[in-house]
Amino acid sequence: MTPILNKLIFGFTFFREKYFSERKDLYRRLVRDGQRPNIAMVACSDSRVDPALVLQSDPGDIFAIRNVANLVPPFEEDQAGETSYHGTSAALEFAVEQLGVEHIVIFGHAHCSGVKAMVMGQEGTPVAGRFVPSWTSIVNKAYTLAKSKNPSAEGEVLDRCCERQAVIVSLENLMTFPFIRERVENQTLQIHGWYLDIAEGELSSYDPAQDKFSPLV
Protein backbone atom coordinates (compact mmCIF):
# COMPACT_ATOMS: atom_id res chain seq x y z
CA MET A 1 0.00 0.00 0.00
CA THR A 2 1.42 3.36 -1.00
CA PRO A 3 1.70 6.26 1.48
CA ILE A 4 -1.01 8.30 -0.23
CA LEU A 5 -3.48 5.38 -0.15
CA ASN A 6 -2.63 4.78 3.50
CA LYS A 7 -3.34 8.46 4.14
CA LEU A 8 -6.77 8.14 2.54
CA ILE A 9 -7.61 4.98 4.47
CA PHE A 10 -6.54 6.64 7.71
CA GLY A 11 -8.69 9.61 6.75
CA PHE A 12 -11.71 7.38 6.30
CA THR A 13 -11.07 5.79 9.69
CA PHE A 14 -11.03 9.23 11.28
CA PHE A 15 -14.18 10.21 9.35
CA ARG A 16 -16.03 7.11 10.50
CA GLU A 17 -14.97 7.35 14.14
CA LYS A 18 -15.38 11.10 14.53
CA TYR A 19 -17.46 12.86 11.84
CA PHE A 20 -19.83 10.01 10.93
CA SER A 21 -20.37 8.86 14.50
CA GLU A 22 -21.41 12.38 15.51
CA ARG A 23 -23.84 12.67 12.57
CA LYS A 24 -25.44 9.25 12.37
CA ASP A 25 -28.93 10.71 12.60
CA LEU A 26 -28.22 13.02 9.65
CA TYR A 27 -26.93 10.19 7.47
CA ARG A 28 -29.83 7.93 8.43
CA ARG A 29 -32.29 10.68 7.53
CA LEU A 30 -30.56 11.25 4.19
CA VAL A 31 -30.76 7.51 3.47
CA ARG A 32 -34.38 7.24 4.59
CA ASP A 33 -35.71 10.39 2.93
CA GLY A 34 -33.20 10.79 0.10
CA GLN A 35 -31.16 13.85 -0.73
CA ARG A 36 -32.87 17.20 -1.11
CA PRO A 37 -30.09 19.73 -1.70
CA ASN A 38 -31.11 23.31 -2.43
CA ILE A 39 -27.92 24.09 -4.31
CA ALA A 40 -26.27 22.62 -7.40
CA MET A 41 -22.67 23.72 -7.75
CA VAL A 42 -20.58 23.46 -10.91
CA ALA A 43 -17.04 23.37 -9.54
CA CYS A 44 -13.61 22.54 -10.91
CA SER A 45 -12.00 19.11 -10.61
CA ASP A 46 -8.90 20.88 -9.23
CA SER A 47 -7.77 19.14 -6.04
CA ARG A 48 -7.32 22.49 -4.27
CA VAL A 49 -10.92 23.67 -4.53
CA ASP A 50 -13.19 21.05 -3.01
CA PRO A 51 -16.42 23.05 -2.50
CA ALA A 52 -17.57 20.96 0.47
CA LEU A 53 -14.32 21.73 2.28
CA VAL A 54 -14.00 25.37 1.21
CA LEU A 55 -17.61 26.16 2.10
CA GLN A 56 -17.80 23.86 5.14
CA SER A 57 -21.12 22.42 3.96
CA ASP A 58 -22.89 19.40 5.44
CA PRO A 59 -23.83 16.20 3.62
CA GLY A 60 -27.02 16.85 1.67
CA ASP A 61 -26.39 20.60 1.21
CA ILE A 62 -24.75 20.67 -2.22
CA PHE A 63 -25.27 18.64 -5.38
CA ALA A 64 -21.72 18.89 -6.72
CA ILE A 65 -20.95 18.81 -10.45
CA ARG A 66 -17.19 18.87 -11.00
CA ASN A 67 -15.31 19.05 -14.27
CA VAL A 68 -12.20 20.63 -15.75
CA ALA A 69 -12.47 24.43 -15.34
CA ASN A 70 -16.01 24.36 -13.88
CA LEU A 71 -17.56 24.79 -17.31
CA VAL A 72 -21.14 24.60 -18.50
CA PRO A 73 -21.52 23.72 -22.19
CA PRO A 74 -24.36 25.22 -24.22
CA PHE A 75 -27.56 23.19 -24.41
CA GLU A 76 -27.31 20.62 -27.18
CA GLU A 77 -29.51 17.66 -28.01
CA ASP A 78 -28.37 14.51 -29.79
CA GLN A 79 -28.97 14.43 -33.52
CA ALA A 80 -31.05 11.59 -34.97
CA GLY A 81 -29.11 8.35 -34.91
CA GLU A 82 -26.30 9.81 -32.80
CA THR A 83 -25.50 9.42 -29.14
CA SER A 84 -23.25 11.85 -27.30
CA TYR A 85 -22.27 11.91 -23.65
CA HIS A 86 -23.51 14.98 -21.82
CA GLY A 87 -22.10 14.52 -18.32
CA THR A 88 -22.46 18.08 -17.06
CA SER A 89 -25.77 18.61 -18.85
CA ALA A 90 -27.18 15.38 -17.41
CA ALA A 91 -26.13 16.43 -13.92
CA LEU A 92 -27.81 19.82 -14.34
CA GLU A 93 -30.97 18.18 -15.63
CA PHE A 94 -31.04 15.81 -12.66
CA ALA A 95 -30.39 18.62 -10.17
CA VAL A 96 -33.09 20.89 -11.56
CA GLU A 97 -35.80 18.50 -12.73
CA GLN A 98 -35.43 15.65 -10.24
CA LEU A 99 -34.01 17.26 -7.11
CA GLY A 100 -35.63 20.66 -7.57
CA VAL A 101 -32.65 22.76 -6.53
CA GLU A 102 -33.34 26.45 -6.01
CA HIS A 103 -29.84 27.72 -6.79
CA ILE A 104 -27.09 26.91 -9.28
CA VAL A 105 -23.62 28.26 -8.50
CA ILE A 106 -20.75 28.36 -10.99
CA PHE A 107 -17.75 28.09 -8.65
CA GLY A 108 -14.68 29.40 -10.46
CA HIS A 109 -11.23 29.83 -9.00
CA ALA A 110 -7.83 31.43 -9.52
CA HIS A 111 -4.88 29.55 -11.02
CA CYS A 112 -7.16 27.25 -13.01
CA SER A 113 -5.17 25.00 -15.35
CA GLY A 114 -8.23 24.37 -17.51
CA VAL A 115 -8.75 28.05 -18.22
CA LYS A 116 -5.01 28.39 -18.78
CA ALA A 117 -5.28 25.69 -21.45
CA MET A 118 -7.99 27.73 -23.16
CA VAL A 119 -5.81 30.85 -23.05
CA MET A 120 -2.87 28.96 -24.53
CA GLY A 121 -5.04 27.65 -27.34
CA GLN A 122 -6.35 31.11 -28.12
CA GLU A 123 -2.79 32.42 -28.30
CA GLY A 124 -1.66 29.67 -30.67
CA THR A 125 0.22 27.48 -28.21
CA PRO A 126 -0.47 23.76 -28.70
CA VAL A 127 -2.31 22.17 -25.78
CA ALA A 128 -1.65 18.52 -25.01
CA GLY A 129 -4.50 16.05 -24.78
CA ARG A 130 -7.27 14.51 -26.85
CA PHE A 131 -10.17 15.95 -24.88
CA VAL A 132 -8.98 18.99 -22.90
CA PRO A 133 -8.55 21.41 -25.85
CA SER A 134 -12.05 20.83 -27.22
CA TRP A 135 -13.60 20.89 -23.74
CA THR A 136 -12.01 24.18 -22.70
CA SER A 137 -12.88 25.74 -26.07
CA ILE A 138 -16.41 26.00 -24.63
CA VAL A 139 -15.27 29.26 -23.05
CA ASN A 140 -13.11 30.66 -25.86
CA LYS A 141 -15.41 33.68 -25.67
CA ALA A 142 -13.94 34.41 -22.22
CA TYR A 143 -10.61 35.26 -23.84
CA THR A 144 -12.23 37.71 -26.24
CA LEU A 145 -14.20 39.33 -23.43
CA ALA A 146 -11.12 39.63 -21.20
CA LYS A 147 -9.06 41.26 -23.95
CA SER A 148 -11.88 43.66 -24.84
CA LYS A 149 -12.18 44.79 -21.22
CA ASN A 150 -8.43 44.93 -20.60
CA PRO A 151 -6.57 45.09 -23.94
CA SER A 152 -3.12 45.32 -22.33
CA ALA A 153 -3.63 42.29 -20.07
CA GLU A 154 -1.19 39.43 -20.47
CA GLY A 155 0.36 36.66 -18.40
CA GLU A 156 -1.06 36.21 -14.91
CA VAL A 157 -3.28 39.28 -15.22
CA LEU A 158 -4.89 37.90 -18.37
CA ASP A 159 -5.31 34.47 -16.78
CA ARG A 160 -7.17 35.96 -13.79
CA CYS A 161 -9.40 37.99 -16.11
CA CYS A 162 -10.18 34.94 -18.24
CA GLU A 163 -11.04 32.85 -15.18
CA ARG A 164 -13.67 35.36 -14.16
CA GLN A 165 -14.99 35.77 -17.68
CA ALA A 166 -15.26 31.98 -18.00
CA VAL A 167 -17.66 32.01 -15.04
CA ILE A 168 -19.77 34.60 -16.86
CA VAL A 169 -19.80 32.55 -20.08
CA SER A 170 -20.95 29.49 -18.13
CA LEU A 171 -23.74 31.56 -16.58
CA GLU A 172 -24.82 32.54 -20.09
CA ASN A 173 -24.69 28.90 -21.18
CA LEU A 174 -26.91 27.89 -18.26
CA MET A 175 -29.64 30.06 -19.74
CA THR A 176 -29.56 28.08 -23.01
CA PHE A 177 -31.11 25.11 -21.17
CA PRO A 178 -34.90 25.43 -21.50
CA PHE A 179 -35.61 23.87 -18.11
CA ILE A 180 -33.24 26.34 -16.44
CA ARG A 181 -34.37 29.43 -18.35
CA GLU A 182 -38.02 28.68 -17.59
CA ARG A 183 -37.40 28.41 -13.86
CA VAL A 184 -35.18 31.49 -13.74
CA GLU A 185 -37.86 33.51 -15.53
CA ASN A 186 -40.49 32.12 -13.15
CA GLN A 187 -38.23 33.06 -10.21
CA THR A 188 -38.12 29.51 -8.84
CA LEU A 189 -34.41 29.15 -9.62
CA GLN A 190 -31.49 31.54 -9.18
CA ILE A 191 -28.07 31.29 -10.82
CA HIS A 192 -24.88 32.70 -9.33
CA GLY A 193 -21.25 33.13 -10.35
CA TRP A 194 -18.64 32.82 -7.59
CA TYR A 195 -14.86 33.11 -7.81
CA LEU A 196 -12.37 31.82 -5.25
CA ASP A 197 -8.88 33.28 -4.97
CA ILE A 198 -7.10 30.24 -3.55
CA ALA A 199 -3.89 32.17 -2.84
CA GLU A 200 -5.62 34.84 -0.74
CA GLY A 201 -8.59 32.87 0.60
CA GLU A 202 -11.10 35.37 -0.81
CA LEU A 203 -14.53 34.63 -2.30
CA SER A 204 -16.35 37.01 -4.63
CA SER A 205 -19.67 36.98 -6.49
CA TYR A 206 -20.58 38.26 -9.94
CA ASP A 207 -23.02 41.17 -10.09
CA PRO A 208 -24.61 41.27 -13.57
CA ALA A 209 -25.96 44.79 -13.03
CA GLN A 210 -22.44 46.17 -12.51
CA ASP A 211 -20.67 43.52 -14.59
CA LYS A 212 -18.08 42.91 -11.90
CA PHE A 213 -17.13 40.55 -9.09
CA SER A 214 -17.43 41.84 -5.52
CA PRO A 215 -16.32 40.23 -2.24
CA LEU A 216 -18.97 38.09 -0.55
CA VAL A 217 -17.32 38.32 2.87
What residues form the annotated binding site? 44, 46, 109, 112
Contact yes or no for 78/144 (Cβ under 8 A): no
d(CA 15, CA 19): 5
Binding-site members for Zn(2+) are 44, 46, 109, 112
- Kindly report the three-state secondary structure assignment for every residue of 42-95: EEECCCCCCHHHHCCCCCCCEEEEEEHHHCCCCCCCCCCCCCCCCHHHHHHHHH
Sequence-distant (6+) residues with CB within 8 A of 124 are none
Contact yes or no for 202/185 (Cβ under 8 A): no
